[in-house]
Amino acid sequence: MKKIGIVGATGYTGVELLRILATHTGVEVSIVTSRANAGSRVDAMFSNLRGYIDLAFSEPDVEKLSACDLVFFATPNGIAMQHSKVLLDNGVKVIDLAADYRIKDLSVWEKWYGMQHATPELVESAVYGLPEINRSHIKPANLVANPGCYPTAVTLGLLPLLEKGVISAEGIIADCKSGASGAGRQANVGTLLSEASDNFKAYASDGHRHQPEIAQTLSLLVGKEVELTFVPHLLPMIRGIHATLYTQASKKYDLQALFEKRYANEPFVDVMPEGSHPETRSVKGSNICRISPHRPGNGERVVVLSVIDNLVKGAAGQAVQNMNLMLGLDETMGLTAPAFLP
């Protein structure tokens, strides 16, 4: 049984990792850390895990974490890069759910994240953990940069079109909405119930840190710079991302067939029947991305609808999918439960 550590296990992605791994039959969670809650039992803070996780939070200790086979960092940006090298040198595989290793251009990363990178020598070797494009590289990887939630929904929605050269790399619009859990568990006035409920708004419209991550991934797919406009919005709900993607393609392409063929063997991408409108509630709590391409008025304008649970396929579920690949387990292990409904 592989031993797993989770650093920063009290945030939304951390506790989602615990929920998924609690019934995973291929691994054992052996260490969960939290500086602020060291000594407290996991099930005292998260009562849904009573009877599943019999551990207390501890202070992060690299020596103890080095006894694990794989360690997840479910921490704020800038934490994983401080500790990854020691763990990797001790033979421990690392998955970072934050953004420390996602962007290859360090000057771009430092501009958007406002800090100097602590382990720049690891950035190039880190594998971007989107299995639908990097599965063969994830399997032998020691360090995986788990993708952001918005980038996952957007990339999966555009992937078949860009791979086949069906659309131009210019003028792509990603109009995306997320539930409040995407902002994390820390106190924030903007995500208080009285502030976010019965309200809908855009934010970071002049620049969001997920934009360079999306642009990097899409540019690598087509071999040239992609022109992308990305605008996120906050929805008055807890979980879910809905990405509405706008681009253009010649009328000669059968979009439905193109998407169905590309994702035919992907266990966690569901191309819905033609004309469908995927709902965020249909993926709540699941590792599924549901997609539906449309061609309004049967013209050249293409609209792709892509939905995920930001805490699962957009974070913890995808991280477990990557863990399964890295540890030689069945890729779907622990991730096959259907969504919560209602």
Q: Which of 122, 116, 118 is nearest to 144 (CA)?
A: 122
The tokens for 58 are 């501890």
In 250-322, DSSP assigns E strands to 269-271, 289-294, 301-308
Beta-bridge mates of residue 176: 232, 243
The three-state secondary structure class of 41 is: strand
The three-state secondary structure class of 139 is: coil
Instruction: Round to whole Å and give the CA distance between 320 and 131.
Output: 11
Instruction: Decide if 243 contacts 305 (C-beta within 8 A).
Output: yes
Q: Give the relative orientation of helices 317-326 and 131-138 as an angle to the nearest 10 degrees.
A: 30
Could you give the angle at the alpha carbon of 267 between the alpha carbons of 261 and 269, nearest 5°?
60
Instruction: Decide if 175 contacts 211 (C-beta within 8 A).
Output: no
Q: Which of 279, 303, 284 is nearest to 293 (CA)?
A: 303
Contacts of 231 (CB under 8 A, 6+ apart): 173, 174, 175, 176, 202, 204, 205, 208
Strands 241-248 vs 301-308: parallel, antiparallel or unpaired:
antiparallel
Any catalytic annotation for residue 149?
Answer: yes
Of 68, 149, 176, 289, the catalytic one is 149
The three-state secondary structure class of 111 is: helix
**Catalytic site residues?**
149
